[in-house]
Amino acid sequence: MRLLVSAILLATGVTVASCTSPRATPAPTPAPAPAGTFSVAPASPSPTSSTAQLTAWVDAARLSPQAVGAPQPVQESHGPADVFVDCNKKIAADATVVYAHHWIWDGAKPVDHSVFAYPDPAAQAVKQIKARATSCKSYDINELAAGTTRVQFVAAYAFQPLAGIDGSYAFCEKDTGIPPASAKGQVPNVSYFCTAAFSRGDVLATVRVSGPQMTLASARTALAALLPLGEQALISAVPAP
């Protein structure tokens, strides 16, 4: 999601001295690949779902401009890619991604939406995302120019998935942007993000969102409004397993 904010600023040409800290490329080594970067060797799809089928389903699961309140995304990429990073770790399913499509929207609310296809049931990827999100209470992302972003797990987000969704998990995080030592007197910037991961068959979708106010309540409200739209887009795009 930190990638989301920085991409929006680049796309709109806005320069901000202190804003929501982007979680783009973590500094620790080895650095996990952020969403939107491409894997070297995509896995082969299962015999029941061809690469062409999986690709078509992923592309069709895109959120509509009406859902996010923007005419078009400010950033878009497609091809085999890793799931968003948390706790500075990748998940095992990243090694088997067949195809992925990633959109960043700056509409009524900033939205980071990604869809991934695997050669196996994507519900396993949801379980891995849950295990990773709860594997640490907090972690730091260090950027020389921007300082440090401290990411803290706040709580799971309980929701009832729509019929047709076979794997689901959501959670919220707090970001505290700690300015570099050179920025004396600058107040740390605090913001909240909520993330949902849900699957249908061999396809996983993730939605990351913050609200119009940088509060936990605002982020939760934003996710509650967008989540069923993302689920319905996935259900409409992917045939029942």
Report the amino acid identity of residue 178.
I
> pLDDT (tens digit, 9 = 90+) per residue, 87-136?
999 999 999 999 999 999 998 778 999 999 999 999 999 999 999 999 99
> Of 154, 130, 152, 128, whose CA–CA distance to 139 is shortest?
152
**Which tokens belong to 39?**
């894997």
> pLDDT (tens digit, 9 = 90+) per residue, 53-85?
999 999 999 999 999 999 999 999 999 999 999
CATH number for 2-237 (one of 1.10.10, 3.40.1000, 3.30.40, 1.20.950): it is 3.40.1000
**Distance of CA 146 to CAs 15, 84, 143, 150, 189, Å?**
13, 20, 5, 12, 11
Q: Which residue has the tokens 């799809």?
A: 45
Q: Are strands 110-117 and 138-143 parallel, antiparallel or unpaired?
A: unpaired
- Residue 48: count of CB within 10 angstroms of its CB: 10
pLDDT of amino acid 97: 97
**Which tokens belong to 61?**
């699961």
* Residues whose CB falls within 8 Å of the CB of residue 155, separated by 6 or more in sequence, listed in order: 171, 172
Q: Which pTM was predicted?
A: 0.80
> pLDDT (tens digit, 9 = 90+) per residue, 184-229?
767 778 999 999 999 999 999 999 999 888 899 999 999 999 999 9
